[in-house]
Amino acid sequence: MSFNTFGKIFRFTTWGESHGPAIGCVVDGCPPNINIKEQDIQIELNKRKPGQSKFTSQRKEDDKVQILSGLFEGKTTGTPISLIIYNKDARSRDYETIKNKFRPGHADFTYFKKYGIRDYRGGGRQSARETASRVAAGAIAKKVLESKIGKKFKVIGAVTQLGIIGCDVKKWNDQDIRKNPFFCPDKSFVKLWKKYLLSIRKSGSSCGATIEIRARGVPVGLGAPIYSKLDMDIASAMMSINAVKGVNIGSGMSSAQ
Amino acid sequence: MSFNTFGKIFRFTTWGESHGPAIGCVVDGCPPNINIKEQDIQIELNKRKPGQSKFTSQRKEDDKVQILSGLFEGKTTGTPISLIIYNKDARSRDYETIKNKFRPGHADFTYFKKYGIRDYRGGGRQSARETASRVAAGAIAKKVLESKIGKKFKVIGAVTQLGIIGCDVKKWNDQDIRKNPFFCPDKSFVKLWKKYLLSIRKSGSSCGATIEIRARGVPVGLGAPIYSKLDMDIASAMMSINAVKGVNIGSGMSSAQ
Amino acid sequence: MSFNTFGKIFRFTTWGESHGPAIGCVVDGCPPNINIKEQDIQIELNKRKPGQSKFTSQRKEDDKVQILSGLFEGKTTGTPISLIIYNKDARSRDYETIKNKFRPGHADFTYFKKYGIRDYRGGGRQSARETASRVAAGAIAKKVLESKIGKKFKVIGAVTQLGIIGCDVKKWNDQDIRKNPFFCPDKSFVKLWKKYLLSIRKSGSSCGATIEIRARGVPVGLGAPIYSKLDMDIASAMMSINAVKGVNIGSGMSSAQ
Amino acid sequence: MSFNTFGKIFRFTTWGESHGPAIGCVVDGCPPNINIKEQDIQIELNKRKPGQSKFTSQRKEDDKVQILSGLFEGKTTGTPISLIIYNKDARSRDYETIKNKFRPGHADFTYFKKYGIRDYRGGGRQSARETASRVAAGAIAKKVLESKIGKKFKVIGAVTQLGIIGCDVKKWNDQDIRKNPFFCPDKSFVKLWKKYLLSIRKSGSSCGATIEIRARGVPVGLGAPIYSKLDMDIASAMMSINAVKGVNIGSGMSSAQ
């Protein structure tokens, strides 16, 4: 069995390989009469897009999204919303050299053992490129929440630790996050992180990071008890991202203490 | 809630409006290592395509399908298969006259009452055009079943009653079905049906029909007991088609007698 | 895979074998603050109960239902409602003789081929006794609909054909249905049906029947388009019942004409 | 909507309130021909049972499980397995005093706001007592995995941090875990933890803990990519437990460094 759908009432199904002709998703269960423009989705995709600074993957993609269904005269109709992003940078020849190799830290071997076949071009379906589809679906979810809850509802994320260097989350400033290439909420750390990352890069390595997401104006009672509680749905969504290895809610693991 | 997914292990989600830029579906849960070509799907879509004789809807569509994901070197990989059919004949101006009218026998009014908005162009999502997406998904299901069960497995359908005139199902001949514009399995009725349908058309009317589907070589134990039994899944799929108002399995309603 | 859950928002999962200690179901997704008493469910179960006349199966069961969860001070709380019916008449010794036989018209053989094991006592899970669980779930659904739609909402069913003898549905009278052992809506047929059924019984046979269900006061827009439309959900639920071989909505199969 | 089902192929639905007549679950999708005894489930429930030492909740419950369906002659049949645990210690009068109070650290207020009604007896559905149902379902899952994977498959958990005191996981010894009231895998810490916990208890407080679960002999390819990957399903299940606020897989959050 494979399972490429997330959600229960508002649901999305993602599809597409890193180096296939396109990737995309179908959002089902979106309420009607929500104003959505392609640009609303594009704004979020642009934040995700790699190759924007020398500090990230250098893959070049426009990640230009098109809405193929579910809207009429700028409003959702309650029918499924199909989103497509055509792949530009599908340089699959570059991958010929890894055709017969299983990369560590990737799911190459697992896919091959499980399915007896694998699309070795750029990680195929296991590529982090799949996250573009969920960013697109998330942009729609955001519009729905803003429309239902109102402007007081706001979700914002930032990188709060880069490798061994954490920033000072008490100095978190929403406005700073988009002003540096690291999405750091505390501008006093930008210089240090830059230096640190360049040194790591120089040594031919890379590092992990911690992100923190803050939601404000969330109404009481979102989610449903037990097997659809908000904590569970968040952990679930986060852990389905390739690189995510831990999720904390509130004070998280430190609440043990 | 809207629900545009059918199936439990092998599942497909359809999307798209009659006069939007495209329609399509995402097939999830398809087993890996099944040989599938676009042409396998196209063959089935060509059978469904309207405008092939003067006896059906005159809408002209190529219904040219493209596979966007889920295959690698001609084989399924176990990842979601995204299929797209771009709409050519999207003459939405033709529908301006019905913008403010609710057509009988369509779900126009229901959609409007339910969602407070409707895409009036050609029935939007309620258009029978949605069936192209499921024909495409069905073509993949067929390849899977042939691959798993073998060549002895065969499903074939025919029209066995046209308005008030039923044909003789005892004279059913698989070979005859595709040789007449009515998909009649008994060639001796073709002439009569033609005459009958032309007279109905002349009077500005249309008529209903009964179709019969025969599956051969079905292994024991397909489906699962109670809420996924084969009878249920078939009835369920058939009844989700706009025009279908009754489903019989085996001797059906007549088994009461 | 087995699948014993029906429904999407209001869902129920049934469990239990004909001759196990108990049968029951869990209703999930029931809205809060609906008044429900065990008696509301018992009333519906009493209608289903076999052994009430000499014209049906002679199995004797109280079918006494207990509510184990989901209610507080007589009202639903939005949590799952667990219903249990203990089996009294679990005479499994009676079935020793069929231990090694597969009965025609039952799913004995299918279960055995599919699972490699079968509970031969009274049909086990395939017994029509499973319908008691869904009658119980249906009783709750009825209360929810009455509460949400109001008293104008009414669903009533009757037997309209018994073997080869149909009654006159134009003379349908709600009040008559429960006054005869055949659930016939037209009292003028009761005598004839009685005579007919006794003659069939005498000859050691049985016969099929057609039931008609009438729903009044149904609001526009119940259900959801395509793969959850009301027609589909009804056909689906009906066809999952062992003995049901055909479903018509509205004029049904005759709409072909 | 409420959602009390977990899993996709092997699924369970839990039901029951802390102080209702019983709690339980229905396991659907369990493969046939697995040997399961009530005792297999009871062993796991006994581990969970509160009141076994002075260091835990003092609620006294036998947590005696009964299997009501899905087995025949000691083997699963592929049909739903219904498990029930009758509540003994349903002292709901004890809760009269908190009838009109919302306790901090519980979901009392959230339930009330969401549903407009709450079962205030012992937390009702939000009680940690719900975990007994999933332990029971888990015991069945364990038997399935042992049967399919073999004896090399083993899952074992331990408490590795108690409040501010972590034990030395390098000294983890499977055999020690069940020999102390703290499920500590390193016996050298038992004395210290005991002293620590007694001092906390004396001061009228309580503390959190960290648990570590080790799975050995897991075959390659368990789970399914993206929205059903093993990491996701684990995080999801763990986070649906009331008290869990963080989940790490492998090196977890520390992989950022």
Interchain CB contact of D68 with C (< 8 Å): yes
pLDDT for residue D178: 93
pLDDT for residue C104: 75
Using the predicted structure, report yes or no on whether residue B94 has a pLDDT greater than 70.
no
Whether C225 sits inside 8 A of B111 (CB atoms) is yes
C-alpha B160 chain-centroid distance = 17
Whether D79 sits inside 8 A of C15 (CB atoms) is yes
Residue D88 binned pLDDT confidence (cut-offs 50, 70, 90): confident
Using the predicted structure, report yes or no on whether residue D97 has a pLDDT greater than 90.
no
Instruction: Please count the other Cβ atoms lying within 10 Å of the Cβ belonging to residue D171.
Output: 12
For residues B11-39, one letter each, b for 16 or more C-beta atoms within 10 angstroms of the residue's C-beta and e for the rest, the string is bbbbbbbbbbbbbbbbbbbbbbebebebe
Question: For residues A176 and A163, is the Cβ–Cβ distance under 8 A?
Answer: no
Lowest mean pLDDT segment, chosen from B235-249, D65-79, D103-117? D103-117
Lowest mean pLDDT segment, chosen from B45-54, B161-170, D137-146? B45-54
Residue C73 binned pLDDT confidence (cut-offs 50, 70, 90): very high
Cα angle A133, A139, A143 (rounded to 5 degrees) comes to 150
Using left for φ > 0, alpha for ψ between -120 and 50, and beta otherwise, residue A116 falls in: left
> What is the DSSP pairing of strand A209-216 with strand D165-166?
unpaired
Using the predicted structure, report yes or no on whether residue B92 has a pLDDT greater than 60.
no
C226 chain-B contacts, CB cut-off 8 A:
2-4, 14, 125, 130, 240
Lowest mean pLDDT segment, chosen from A47-56, A211-220, B41-50, B195-204? A47-56
Comparing B92 with B74, which gets the higher pLDDT?
B74
B75 chain-A contacts, CB cut-off 8 A:
117
DSSP codes of every residue in B19-64:
TSSEEEEEEESPPSS-B--HHHHHHHHHHH-S-SSTTS--------
pLDDT for residue C71: 96
Whether C1 sits inside 8 A of B9 (CB atoms) is yes
Contacts of D128 (CB under 8 A, 6+ apart): D241, D242, D243
Using the predicted structure, report yes or no on whether residue D58 has a pLDDT greater than 60.
yes
Interchain CB contact of A225 with C (< 8 Å): yes
Mean pLDDT computed over every residue of chain A: 91
Interchain CB contact of A250 with D (< 8 Å): yes
Q: What is the C-alpha separation between C246 and C214, in angstroms, rounded?
A: 17
Interchain CB contact of A228 with C (< 8 Å): no
Interchain CB contact of B79 with D (< 8 Å): yes
Using the predicted structure, report yes or no on whether residue D210 has a pLDDT greater than 60.
yes
User: What mean pLDDT do residues A69-77 have?
Assistant: 96
Chains that touch A (3 or more CB pairs under 8 A): B, C, D
**A window 124-143, beta carbon within 8 A of B:** 124-125
Give the CA distances from residue A160 to residues A46, A213, C209, D247, in Å, rounded to whole numbers and listed in that order. Answer: 21, 10, 70, 18
Helix (H, G, I), strand (E, B) or coil at B138: helix
B225 chain-D contacts, CB cut-off 8 A:
78-79
Lowest mean pLDDT segment, chosen from A158-162, B198-202, C106-110, C229-233? C106-110
Give the residue from D124, D123, D118, D95 showing the smallest Cα distance to D20. Answer: D124
pLDDT for residue D52: 78
Give the residue from D233, C31, C159 showing the smallest Cα distance to A232. Answer: D233
Using the predicted structure, report yes or no on whether residue A121 has a pLDDT greater than 90.
no
Lowest mean pLDDT segment, chosen from B50-64, B119-133, B229-243, C69-83? B50-64
Q: Which helix (H) or strand (E) holds B218?
A: none
Lowest mean pLDDT segment, chosen from A10-24, D41-55, D143-157? D41-55
**C window 1-30, beta carbon within 8 A of B:** 1-6, 8-9, 14
Interchain CB contact of A117 with D (< 8 Å): no
Distance in Å, alpha carbon of B26 to nearest chain C alpha carbon: 14
Amino acid at D37: K
Using the predicted structure, report yes or no on whether residue C163 has a pLDDT greater than 90.
yes
User: What mean pLDDT do residues B104-113 have?
Assistant: 83
Interchain CB contact of D114 with A (< 8 Å): yes
Question: pLDDT tens for residues D246-257?
Answer: 999 999 998 888
Using the predicted structure, report yes or no on whether residue C96 has a pLDDT greater than 80.
no
For residues A208-234, one letter each, b for 16 or more C-beta atoms within 10 angstroms of the residue's C-beta and e for the rest, the string is bbbeeeeeeeeeebebbbbbbbbbbbb
D225 chain-B contacts, CB cut-off 8 A:
78-79
Question: For residues B123 and B18, is the Cβ–Cβ distance under 8 A?
Answer: yes
Contacts of D90 (CB under 8 A, 6+ apart): D19, D20, D21, D121
Question: For residues D185 and D167, is the Cβ–Cβ distance under 8 A?
Answer: yes
Using left for φ > 0, alpha for ψ between -120 and 50, and beta otherwise, residue C29 falls in: left
Using the predicted structure, report yes or no on whether residue D159 has a pLDDT greater than 60.
yes
> pTM for this one?
0.95
Using CB atoms, pick whichever of D17, D26, D33 lies closest to residue C69. Answer: D17
Whether C225 sits inside 8 A of B255 (CB atoms) is no
Using the predicted structure, report yes or no on whether residue C89 has a pLDDT greater than 70.
no
User: What mean pLDDT do residues A144-155 have?
Assistant: 93
Interchain CB contact of C114 with D (< 8 Å): yes
Q: What is the C-alpha separation between C35 and C72, in angstroms, rounded?
A: 10
Mean pLDDT computed over every residue of chain C: 91
Using the predicted structure, report yes or no on whether residue A92 has a pLDDT greater than 60.
no
Whether C68 sits inside 8 A of D118 (CB atoms) is no
Q: What is the C-alpha separation between B133 and B15, in angstroms, rounded?
A: 8
Task: Name the DSSP letter for residue A56.
Answer: S
User: What mean pLDDT do residues A60-81 have?
Assistant: 94
Using the predicted structure, report yes or no on whether residue D92 has a pLDDT greater than 60.
no
Cα angle B245, B248, B252 (rounded to 5 degrees) comes to 135
Give the residue from B44, B18, B53, B46 showing the smallest Cα distance to B129. Answer: B18
pLDDT for residue D154: 94
C79 chain-A contacts, CB cut-off 8 A:
225
Mean pLDDT computed over every residue of chain B: 91
pLDDT for residue A100: 76
B253 chain-C contacts, CB cut-off 8 A:
210, 245-246, 248, 253
Using the predicted structure, report yes or no on whether residue C92 has a pLDDT greater than 60.
no
Whether D82 sits inside 8 A of C24 (CB atoms) is yes
Question: pLDDT tens for residues C225-234?
Answer: 999 999 999 9
Residue A101 binned pLDDT confidence (cut-offs 50, 70, 90): confident
pLDDT for residue A185: 98
Interchain CB contact of C221 with A (< 8 Å): no
- Look up residue B105 and give its two tokens: 């026998």
pLDDT for residue B95: 67
Comparing A58 with C187, which gets the higher pLDDT?
C187
Using the predicted structure, report yes or no on whether residue C95 has a pLDDT greater than 70.
no
Instruction: Please count the other Cβ atoms lying within 10 Å of the Cβ belonging to residue A121.
Output: 21
Residue B257 binned pLDDT confidence (cut-offs 50, 70, 90): confident
Q: Quick one: what percent of chain B has pLDDT higher than 90?
A: 73
Using the predicted structure, report yes or no on whether residue D148 has a pLDDT greater than 80.
yes
Question: pLDDT tens for residues C197-221?
Answer: 999 999 999 899 999 999 999 999 9
pLDDT for residue B90: 61
Using the predicted structure, report yes or no on whether residue D156 has a pLDDT greater than 90.
yes
Interchain CB contact of D81 with C (< 8 Å): yes
